[in-house]
């Protein structure tokens, strides 16, 4: 895979940033975020993961050496339990508001920007590659507007083998949200680029990320994670989204991440914060709130049902995860019914 174009040399040049974003569908800025602050956050996050049993006993949390017996991913109750402990860290939420990043985002867009309330971290186990984030456009998950910007930053160095993000260069020019299919990978939605002739000549680009590096891209840019093929290292990263103040926001982005899998309120997130800085900050703005468009996930769920019925093990595992969740939902009812039916007939 080719290298991402590094735009750190033009970080103060609004015209050039905008031109490159338009041309490439991403901006990659080395060392944009404060290294010490990220490393401090890394220690806090990994210390919680260690308490949750995710790291090898006796190792330094900073090394992120995974206990592979504890492997889990988004959708597994065990993942959410530890993730939601990490999610209570004030420093994890605060980093999304950091001055260096907000300044660049406002320079790129020429508008006042805000992070979406739902911040996201990814805590990805090694050698668990069938759960790697598949190829997708962010709009299907986060919605709002197609101009929303995703900012992805590793929390610690992230060489290729640890499974950083790769972007399909120029793919945003397709100009529309595409259909996605069922995937066992994080987010459950995969975009099959072979179905689109426009993508045939485009190249995937990535890099060996270092702490502080940030990748910025809009909601139509096609991207994926690389598999974490290390022997024993956890990949820890941030992917937060930003919108223009005043733009519409999808209602689910006003809730804590994975709170549909296991209940978590903002009051619980904030319970141990020493101060109330940036709590409920979005309530100061008057962004129109839209209902989440569920057609993307609904289509993938229907596909998983059909695949499970035809014996597909990945689809069965997906349905089992939905069945194991704490939250009641029509999908959970259906998943349980289909799994029971399969058990009766096989």
CB of 305 to ligand AKG, least distance (A): 25
How many whole angstroms separate alpha carbon 153 and alpha carbon 161? Answer: 16
**Residues numbered 57-116 forming contacts with ligand AKG, rule: CB under 6 A:** none
Do the strands 181-182 and 189-190 form a parallel or antiparallel pair, or are they unpaired?
antiparallel
Does residue 225 bind ligand AKG (CB under 6 A)? yes
Are the beta carbons of 164 and 239 closer than 8 angstroms? no
CB of 226 to ligand AKG, least distance (A): 9
Instruction: Indicate which single residue of 109, 137, 150, 190 sits in contact with ligand AKG (rule: CB under 6 A).
Output: 150
Query: Applying CB under 5 A, which part among 11-19, 134-142, 196-204, 306-314 lies near Fe ion?
Result: 134-142
CB of 272 to ligand AKG, least distance (A): 26
CB of 333 to ligand AKG, least distance (A): 29
Query: 52 vs 154, which CB is nearer to Fe ion?
Result: 154
Query: 133 vs 230, which CB is nearer to ligand AKG?
Result: 133
Give burial (CB, 10 Å; 0-12/13-18/19+) of 204.
middle
Does residue 188 bind ligand AKG (CB under 6 A)? no
**Residues numbered 126-145 forming contacts with ligand AKG, rule: CB under 6 A:** 133, 138
Could you tell which of ligand AKG, Fe ion, none binds residue 225, using a CB distance below 5 to 8 A set by kind? Answer: ligand AKG
Phi, psi of 204 (to 5 degrees): -80, 140
Query: Applying CB under 5 A, which part among 114-122, 132-140, 192-200, 332-340 lies near Fe ion?
Result: 132-140
**Going edge to edge, which strands form the sheet with 204-206?**
2-3, 204-206, 165-168, 222-225, 136-137
DSSP tag of 189: E
Sign of CA dihedral 269, 298, 149, 25: positive
Torsion of CA 175, 177, 182, 188, to 10 degrees: 100
Query: 216 vs 338, which CB is nearer to ligand AKG?
Result: 216
Return the residue nearest ligand AKG (CB atom).
239
CB of 162 to Fe ion, least distance (A): 17
User: 3-state DSSP helix/strand/coil percent for the chain, to nearest 5?
Assistant: 40, 20, 40
Instruction: Indicate which single residue of 71, 122, 180, 257 sits in contact with ligand AKG (rule: CB under 6 A).
Output: 122
Distance of CA 43 to the CA centre of its chain: 20
The count of other CB atoms within 10 Å of the CB of residue 44 is 17
Does residue 228 bind ligand AKG (CB under 6 A)? no
Does residue 152 bind ligand AKG (CB under 6 A)? yes
How many whole angstroms separate alpha carbon 165 and alpha carbon 119? Answer: 17
CB of 136 to Fe ion, least distance (A): 6
Number of residues that bind Fe ion (CB under 5 A): 1
Does residue 237 bind ligand AKG (CB under 6 A)? yes
**Residues numbered 251-280 forming contacts with Fe ion, rule: CB under 5 A:** none
Distance of CA 141 to the CA centre of its chain: 9
Give burial (CB, 10 Å; 0-12/13-18/19+) of 286.
exposed
Phi, psi of 306 (to 5 degrees): -65, -45
Does residue 214 bind ligand AKG (CB under 6 A)? no
Instruction: Indicate which single residue of 24, 76, 138, 213 sits in contact with Fe ion (rule: CB under 5 A).
Output: 138
Does residue 206 bind ligand AKG (CB under 6 A)? no
Number of residues that bind ligand AKG (CB under 6 A): 11
Could you tell which of Fe ion, ligand AKG, none binds residue 213, using a CB distance below 5 to 8 A set by kind? Answer: none
| 48 torsion bin: left (phi>0), alpha (psi -120 to 50), beta (else) | alpha
Residues near Fe ion, by CB under 5 A: 138
Residues binding ligand AKG (CB under 6 A): 122, 133, 138, 150, 152, 165, 186, 223, 225, 237, 239
């Amino acid at each position: 895979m080719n290298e991402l174009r590094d735009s750190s040399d033009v970080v103060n040049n609004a015209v050039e940033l905008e031109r490159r974003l338009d041309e490439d569908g991403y901006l990659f800025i080395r060392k944009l975020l404060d290294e010490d602050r990220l490393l401090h956050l890394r220690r806090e996050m990994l210390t919680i993961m260690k308490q949750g049993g995710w790291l090898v006993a006796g190792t330094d949390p900073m090394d992120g050496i995974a206990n592979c017996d504890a492997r889990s991913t988004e959708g597994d109750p065990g993942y959410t339990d530890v993730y939601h402990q990490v999610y209570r860290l004030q420093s994890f939420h605060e980093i999304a508001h950091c001055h260096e990043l907000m300044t660049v985002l406002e320079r790129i867009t020429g508008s006042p920007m805000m992070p979406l309330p739902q911040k996201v971290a990814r805590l990805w186990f090694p050698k668990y590659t069938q759960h790697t984030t598949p190829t997708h456009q962010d709009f299907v998950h986060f919605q709002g507007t197609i101009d929303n910007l995703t900012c992805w930053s590793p929390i610690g160095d992230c060489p290729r083998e640890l499974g950083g993000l790769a972007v399909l260069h120029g793919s945003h020019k397709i100009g529309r949200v595409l259909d996605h299919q069922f995937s066992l990978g994080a987010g459950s939605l995969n975009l099959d680029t072979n179905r689109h002739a426009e993508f045939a000549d485009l190249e995937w680009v990535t890099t060996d990320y270092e702490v502080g590096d940030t990748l910025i891209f809009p909601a139509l840019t096609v991207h994926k994670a690389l598999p974490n093929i290390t022997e024993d290292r956890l990949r820890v990263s941030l992917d937060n989204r930003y919108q223009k103040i005043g733009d519409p926001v999808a209602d689910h982005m006003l809730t804590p991440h994975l709170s549909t899998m296991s209940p978590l309120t903002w009051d619980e997130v904030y319970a141990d914060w020493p101060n109330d800085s940036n709590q409920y900050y979005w309530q100061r703005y008057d962004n129109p709130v839209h209902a989440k468009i569920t057609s993307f996930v609904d289509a993938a769920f229907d596909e998983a049902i059909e695949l499970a019925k035809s014996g597909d093990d990945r689809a069965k595992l997906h349905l089992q995860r939905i069945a194991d969740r704490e939250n009641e939902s029509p999908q959970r009812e259906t998943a349980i019914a289909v799994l029971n039916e399969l058990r009766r007939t096989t």
